[in-house]
Structure 1
Amino acid sequence: MDSSKQLPIGKRLTFRILMTTVVGLALTLAAIGYTLLLSWQLEGGGAAINEAGSLRMRSYRLAMVLEHPQKGNSVIQELQEFNRTLSDLEHGDAKRPLFLPQTTSIREQMKKVQQDWHQHIQVNAQKVVAQTDPQLKQIALEDYAAQLPGFVKNINQLVSLVEVELEEKTTWLRLCQTALIFMSLAASIALLYLLYLWIVGPVTRMQAGIARMSKDDLSVRLPIETEDEFGVLAQAFNQMADHVQTVHRTLEDRVSEKTAKLQAQNHEISTMYEIAAFLSGPHAIEELCRGFLHRIMQRMNADGGTVRILDSDKGNVHITVHEGISEKMIEEEHCIKKDDCLCGAATSKGIILVRDFRLLDQQKRYRCQEEGYISLAVFQIQARDQVIGSFSLHFSQERVVKGEERRLLEILGKNLGSSIENQRLIAREKEFAVSQERNLLAQGLHDSIAQGLNFLNLQVQMLEDSLKRNDVEEIHDITPLLRAGIQESYEDVRELLLNFRTRLQDSNLESEMRNVVSKFQRQTGVHATIEISGDGAQLAPEQQLQVLFILQEALSNVRKHAQASEVKVKVANDRDFVMTVHDDGAGFDMSKVAQKGDSHVGLRIMHERAERLAAQFSIESSVDQGTTIALHLKRAERLVA
């Protein structure tokens, strides 16, 4: 804002400086003009003295010309020159300049000189010129000579009066010049004083005030001595100083307030990190809820709390964990409808905050109030934008949940919901994995033990029939078959136990595959080799285990059905993972196997394990040409180890 626009023009510093300059300039010009006028008058008066002095010389020269006439009209010329000089003295000549001072005594004396000239001197001179008679001419000349001293005396008197007047003007000129000098000095001093009074002084005081304020002297104030721009500036400085002093006084409180807010935010973030770290751990759902509730109660200084899980199918809310709540209340509310209490209602209505139960409807029963709690805060537990429960905090004293705390508890409620949902998914995944392994176990038992036991059952029935008929020869034939069937079932059980107990040591698939091939060769006597190539990354542990199971199942089928003399296993671990198992056994007709469908349990088990890997599985076989199985896991389906 331009403060000078708000000031009256008479109070503006610029107006005063302008007026002072104008007045000083006017006085200076007036003094200079007056000195010029005096100099001009002195110059004109000096010229008048010269002309008046020349009249005396002309008077005497006219007398000489009259006494000794010359040829020509010299007397007439002298008279004309004399009259011209008198005319110049009387009327003046501004061009030369030439004029007589306009005083009464000088004008009267000038009149005397003119009268004396016109009445006596000029008349007598004309008579001398006009007389032809020498005697009369001599008389006229004597009269001229007799009048001449008086005429010259009058001229001298005129010159004296002019000289006196010029001396006075010279004195005035010197006085004026001296006054001009002193006036210039006085104007300079006055100007310096005014500059100090109007500009330098206020600026100096302003600088001193700023210097004191820069040294933390916030009590400094500038005196408002004028109503000009510097007065407005001083007023603005004082207002600024008042504001700075006020801000400085409240700065400590504001810093403390900001520090407290930062500490609260840091505490909030640390709480969030701590609880998030806890929730990300491998805990059971009840342990998650208990640890969560304990940490939240510590953060909020709550006296009690509960975590309730919603059964959306039945509309019930179950207390999962609790702390600081009486057993009587737990017994009464361990399973309630979601609309029966505030904690249940929060699952459908959102956040519920009760500052003071005593301010609510006293005709309605609140179990929390009966327990002696004054305040209550209930927040939802959400997972994937679905409410799965609620957690409550109970306070024995009146407690207000602030906005920052409310946002924190909302976020933590969502984190708890996500952790609970993750644990549920993990449990389901484990259950599914166990179900799949049980299915594979059942298939293995069916393919080996069940079929063997069925064979033994038939042989036992035949043995019973032979005993009834006392057919010893048939009994001798059945007994070796029973022994062979029992031995084969025993070997199948050992192989199944070995397969399902298989674990990878340090995720070293290569060594485990070599061990499996080596055991197969020792147990069956079939020559077996394994060739592993490639420098690709290791498979993930779960993929390695499935590959190992497929290899075991393939070798088991060779032992049971192939009647092979040699088995070759090749593994190429490059960008893709490829495993082939080839035997030189009896082989089989692929069309007949396709007609059996899922009845061939071993092949189906290998197919299912390949599907778990998202790998391609193929079988090539022909009668008396052996069998080749291939597993191809593409790069896109490989998991990071």
Structure 2
Amino acid sequence: MPTRVFNRIRQSVVFRIGALMLATALVAVSSMVASYVISDAAENDAAAVNQSGSVRMLAYKLAASAINTNPDTARLAADELTSRLNKIGGISDLNGNDRQAGAEQFARVRAQWETQIRPYMLAIASGEQVSDHEAVIAVAEHFVDEVDALVLAFQHSAEATVGLLRLMQLGSLFATVTLVYLSLFTLSRSVEQPLKQLTDCCANIARGNFQYNLELKSDDELGLLADTISGMSKVIEETHRDLAKRVKIKTTELQHSHRILNFQFRLASAISEGEISHSGLQQWLEEFSEVTGLDNLDLCLMTPEGDTPYSHLTHGDDNAACGTVDCQSCARGCDIEMPDEANVYRFPLESGARNYGVLVCSQPPGQKLPWQQVQHLSAFANALTTASTLRERGEQERRAALLDERSIIARELHDSLAQSLSYLKIQVARLNRCNKSEDTSREDISEIIEELKRGLQNSYRQLRELLTTFRLQIADGGLRGALLKAIEHYREQHPEIGIELEYNLAEVPLTPQEEIHLLQLVREASQNAVYHSHGDHIKIRLNMDFYGEIHVHVEDNGIGIGESPEKRDHFGMSIMRERAHSLAGSIEICQRAEGGTAVQFHFTPDYARERKLHWHA
């Protein structure tokens, strides 16, 4: 049992403090109980001393009654004295077996009273015995001396009780002070100092210092808490270190991903802007190898009909991909993104049925590419495929545009200069016949020469107009700026003609093809009005209605169009109809009621057509 209690005191600071508080309370209670018992025991000492004093007075009274031979008074005094002695015995709880000095003196006083003093005094008072005055007084004084000795014994007993009470109070005070000191010492040693260390440790942990040395070794609750916090701080430190490593790794991965995304963004921007050429692919291949860390890259570009690449770009010193298979099987037979037996990854550059080549990545034997690297290679291959597709499509569009432009040039040369030259050829043939004929007059020859001059002037004018048309382009000012420039050109050549422009298509997103055809249409119509209407005012209007259809009106106040407008000098009308047909629109050339000619063209632009289809869907 003591061992168990000791273990509890050693292992529990709460039990230790509780035991000290219990001991302090027990000392206080014991002190109060002892004080109560001792004070209760000394309660009758004063009464006993008082009764003893009255016994002395009664002894003198009895002696006076005996001297005066007054038996009744003496008997009453003797009975009173006996009663007082009995009270003293009852108050002091004294008996004959008590070995204390007060008990012995009380027994001596009572025995002397019962055996000597009482009979003697009563005998003197009754006259049965004769004695002188001095003898009676001597006997009484002797008895009073014994009573004084009893009072002194009672005094000594009371003093002893007070001394015991004082000693008890001092002892309890010392014990209480000692227990309070032990309690404060225990609180300081077992609670305050450990709590301070724990608080400092928690503060350091809160500041991120998980290596705080907690020097607290005990078997109680605070020791267990200190061990737990120390273990927890070590775990947190290890976790923090592990998280820091992970953050560093993730940061490196994010930076790597950022570089790759930046590379892909710049590559996509270059593809969208059409800046990737065959000569620039080597630089993009080297940069891709740098950002991804992949070496030994091969990029083979092939034509649809070729069996070997027309361009073979490599990066890396240990490339062995081309030594395993021939070019045709490498470019045509790879449809998966997995390595072959030689640990070579192949990514075809395919778009539909078109194969532009292959991107090859060689790896050492037994070393597989991570999934992310395979994805990067696949994305790079797709970007190269897109670049090749856009480049090929752009080349086809430029080829088609070149052929279309050549067709337009040929058509306009045929409709203008070819007809003029044919007319001149006819006139030259007439002139030759007249020159050979002897009947030809000089007036006929002069007429032919005049027609040749007019034909040459007309051909020269048509040539200048064709050159102006072929050099025509839409600059930064857009369609409105090009129209204003053409109108300014007409005003410079024909200042007598007023040309008015009403342009309300600033908010319409026209395609470049639509802008070119509109410019040519308006220019052709206004050119016909300038050279053939013989009017002095031309009005050009371009508007769009609520349904998104564009209306173009070119009106003049001239002589109007004839019944056969498709004659030689009006070859531009057929060109205008062809341009209207290219825009899927309709054109009408008619006589105005108030005089002059009106060219009216209507068509729906691509954006409005797509919007209508979307609405219908």
Comparing 250-259 and 398-407, the one that deviates more: 250-259
> 1:430 aligned to 2:398?
yes
Amino acid at match of 2:313: H
> 1:587 aligned to 2:560?
yes
> 1:558 aligned to 2:529?
yes
1:199–1:247 distance in 2 versus 1, CA, 3 Å = same
1:400–1:29 distance in 2 versus 1, CA, 3 Å = same
| Residue 294 of structure 1, CA deviation | 3.7
> 1:628 aligned to 2:598?
yes
| Residue 67 of structure 1, CA deviation | 5.8
Q: Deviations along 1:540-588, whole A, 9 cap, x unmatched?
A: 894665443223211343367x442324235689999987532233434
| Residue 470 of structure 1, CA deviation | 10
1:411–1:55 distance in 2 versus 1, CA, 3 Å = farther
Q: Deviations along 1:451-507, whole A, 9 cap, x unmatched?
A: 667878998999999999999699978887777667645544442332122235664
For 1:345 and 1:478, the matched residues in 2 are separated by: 76
Is the Cα–Cα contact under 8 Å of residues 297 and 315 in structure 2 kept in the other structure? yes
Comparing 33-42 and 19-28, the one that deviates more: 33-42
Matched residue, 1:365: none
Secondary structure in 1 matching 2:173:
helix
1:551–1:53 distance in 2 versus 1, CA, 3 Å = same
Matched residue, 1:95: none
1:496–1:36 distance in 2 versus 1, CA, 3 Å = same
Is the Cα–Cα contact under 8 Å of residues 48 and 100 in structure 1 kept in the other structure? no
Is the Cα–Cα contact under 8 Å of residues 534 and 573 in structure 1 kept in the other structure? yes
Secondary structure in 2 matching 1:345:
coil
Q: Deviations along 1:19-48, whole A, 9 cap, x unmatched?
A: 111012212321343233323323332332
For 1:218 and 1:127, the matched residues in 2 are separated by: 106
Amino acid at match of 2:388: I
Amino acid at match of 2:497: A
Matched residue, 1:88: 87
| Residue 305 of structure 1, CA deviation | 0.5
Q: What TM-score does the superposition give when structure 1 sets the normalisation length?
A: 0.69
Matched residue, 2:486: 513
Is the Cα–Cα contact under 8 Å of residues 567 and 581 in structure 1 kept in the other structure? no
For 1:537 and 1:17, the matched residues in 2 are separated by: 93
For 1:515 and 1:332, the matched residues in 2 are separated by: 67
| Residue 122 of structure 1, CA deviation | 5.7
Matched residue, 1:35: 35
Matched residue, 2:497: 528
Amino acid at match of 2:471: R
Comparing 482-491 and 169-178, the one that deviates more: 482-491
Amino acid at match of 2:18: L
Is the Cα–Cα contact under 8 Å of residues 23 and 179 in structure 2 kept in the other structure? no
Is the Cα–Cα contact under 8 Å of residues 289 and 320 in structure 1 kept in the other structure? no
Residues 157-236 of structure 1 aligned to structure 2 (within 5 Å): 157-203=149-195, 218=211, 220=213, 222=215, 224=217, 226-236=218-228
Matched residue, 2:335: 345
Secondary structure in 2 matching 1:569:
strand
For 2:439 and 2:325, the matched residues in 1 are separated by: 77
Secondary structure in 1 matching 2:494:
helix
1:434–1:124 distance in 2 versus 1, CA, 3 Å = farther
Matched residue, 1:417: 385
> 1:568 aligned to 2:538?
yes
Amino acid at match of 1:25: A
1:443–1:125 distance in 2 versus 1, CA, 3 Å = farther
Matched residue, 2:611: none
For 1:425 and 1:586, the matched residues in 2 are separated by: 49
1:184–1:387 distance in 2 versus 1, CA, 3 Å = farther
Amino acid at match of 2:27: L
Amino acid at match of 1:502: L
For 1:180 and 1:9, the matched residues in 2 are separated by: 23
Structure 2 residue corresponding to 1:323, chosen from 314, 317, 320: 314
For 1:76 and 1:617, the matched residues in 2 are separated by: 173
Identity %: 19
Secondary structure in 2 matching 1:401:
coil
1:99–1:304 distance in 2 versus 1, CA, 3 Å = same
Residues 363-512 of structure 1 aligned to structure 2 (within 5 Å): 369=342, 375-379=343-347, 381=349, 390-395=358-363, 400-434=368-402, 436-438=404-406, 440-441=408-409, 444-445=412-413, 447-448=415-416, 488=458, 491-504=461-474, 507=477, 508-509=481-482, 511-512=484-485
For 2:107 and 2:225, the matched residues in 1 are separated by: 72
Aligned-residue CA RMSD (Å): 5.7
Amino acid at match of 2:14: T
* Structure 1 residues without counterparts, runs of 5 or longer: 1-6, 93-97, 355-359, 361-368, 370-374
* Structure 2 residues without counterparts, runs of 5 or longer: 1-6, 609-617
> 1:306 aligned to 2:306?
no
| Residue 229 of structure 1, CA deviation | 1.9
1:29–1:494 distance in 2 versus 1, CA, 3 Å = same
| Residue 317 of structure 1, CA deviation | 10
For 1:23 and 1:8, the matched residues in 2 are separated by: 16
| Residue 85 of structure 1, CA deviation | 3.5
For 1:12 and 1:520, the matched residues in 2 are separated by: 115
Q: Deviations along 1:115-156, whole A, 9 cap, x unmatched?
A: 555566566777789x6xxx4597899998786456434433
Matched residue, 1:549: 520
Q: Deviations along 1:164-186, whole A, 9 cap, x unmatched?
A: 33333233223223323332343
1:379–1:22 distance in 2 versus 1, CA, 3 Å = farther
1:330–1:233 distance in 2 versus 1, CA, 3 Å = closer
Q: Deviations along 1:409-452, whole A, 9 cap, x unmatched?
A: 34333433333343344345434544554554455456545666
Comparing 15-24 and 567-576, the one that deviates more: 567-576
For 1:327 and 1:461, the matched residues in 2 are separated by: 76
Secondary structure in 1 matching 2:344:
strand
For 1:554 and 1:480, the matched residues in 2 are separated by: 29
Amino acid at match of 2:99: T
1:283–1:635 distance in 2 versus 1, CA, 3 Å = closer
Is the Cα–Cα contact under 8 Å of residues 47 and 99 in structure 1 kept in the other structure? no
For 1:260 and 1:548, the matched residues in 2 are separated by: 56
1:328–1:494 distance in 2 versus 1, CA, 3 Å = farther
Structure 1 residue corresponding to 2:328, chosen from 317, 321, 335: 335
Q: Deviations along 1:353-381, whole A, 9 cap, x unmatched?
A: 46xxxxx4xxxxxxxx5xxxxx4333465
For 1:328 and 1:171, the matched residues in 2 are separated by: 116
Q: Aligned pair count? A: 581
| Residue 163 of structure 1, CA deviation | 2.6
Comparing 230-239 and 78-87, the one that deviates more: 78-87
Is the Cα–Cα contact under 8 Å of residues 309 and 388 in structure 1 kept in the other structure? yes
For 1:61 and 1:382, the matched residues in 2 are separated by: 151
Q: Deviations along 1:367-406, whole A, 9 cap, x unmatched?
A: xx5xxxxx4333465779x997642223568754344434
Secondary structure in 2 matching 1:305:
strand
Is the Cα–Cα contact under 8 Å of residues 346 and 361 in structure 2 kept in the other structure? yes
Is the Cα–Cα contact under 8 Å of residues 592 and 598 in structure 2 kept in the other structure? no
Is the Cα–Cα contact under 8 Å of residues 55 and 155 in structure 1 kept in the other structure? yes
Comparing 538-547 and 500-509, the one that deviates more: 538-547
Secondary structure in 1 matching 2:595:
coil
